[in-house]
Amino acid sequence: MTTQEMQAHIVDGVRRAMSDLCSTMLGCEAEPGEVRVVAQPLEESEGVVALIGMAGPWIGTGAILCKPDMACKLAGAMLMSEYAEVDDEVLDAVAEVANMVIGNLKTSLEEMVAPWVLSTPTVIHGASFTTKLGGNHGWTLMPFAIMGGTVLVQVCLLPNVDGRTTPRLDIVGALAR
């Protein structure tokens, strides 16, 4: 599978997963924004990010990123409660959102290629943090307007060659131009 084909599957899989999550678990609609491919994931000045490792025929990371108020809204919709600030329940809810979105992406990718495995989500909350995958690899960024805020899904997958990643030269080269 080419990098372009994989990127198209990622975008389609994430859009379907976000739509399903919002309609079934959150009682809202997900409005997809403009998809971009960048060398590094976006930096945040403050927020919540849930990272999940992905391994199979391709290796990489999927992430859900949002501002603290959006994390509270997600948790509130999932748990039918109100949250004024980020606490353990909010962090758990964002981890579960990542599990559902990246898990559904995994399932859709398995239909195209071989089986995959996912890591347990790692959730980070704070200020002035950057998520980074070694090197300058193409991250597919997919924003979604949800409940008056934005949730950003970021995915970076590289071909698995004997348990190692290979550079996405076609995307990295295009980013350098």
Parse the chain into domains and list their residue ranges.
3-176
More confident residue, 82 or 131: 82
pLDDT (tens digit, 9 = 90+) per residue, 127-155?
Answer: 877 666 655 567 899 999 999 999 999 99
* CATH classification number, 3-176, choose in 3.90.1150.10, 3.40.50.300, 3.40.1550.10, 3.30.830.10: 3.40.1550.10
pLDDT (tens digit, 9 = 90+) per residue, 19-74?
Answer: 999 999 999 999 999 999 887 666 666 799 999 999 999 999 999 999 999 999 99
Its pTM stands at 0.86
Q: Side chain identity at 34, as an amino acid letter?
A: E
Residue ranges in the chain assigned as alpha helix (H):
3-21, 68-79, 88-112, 169-176
CA 147/CA 56 separation, integer angstroms: 34
Q: Exposed (0-12), middle (13-18) or buried (19+): which is 58, by Cβ within 10 Å?
A: buried
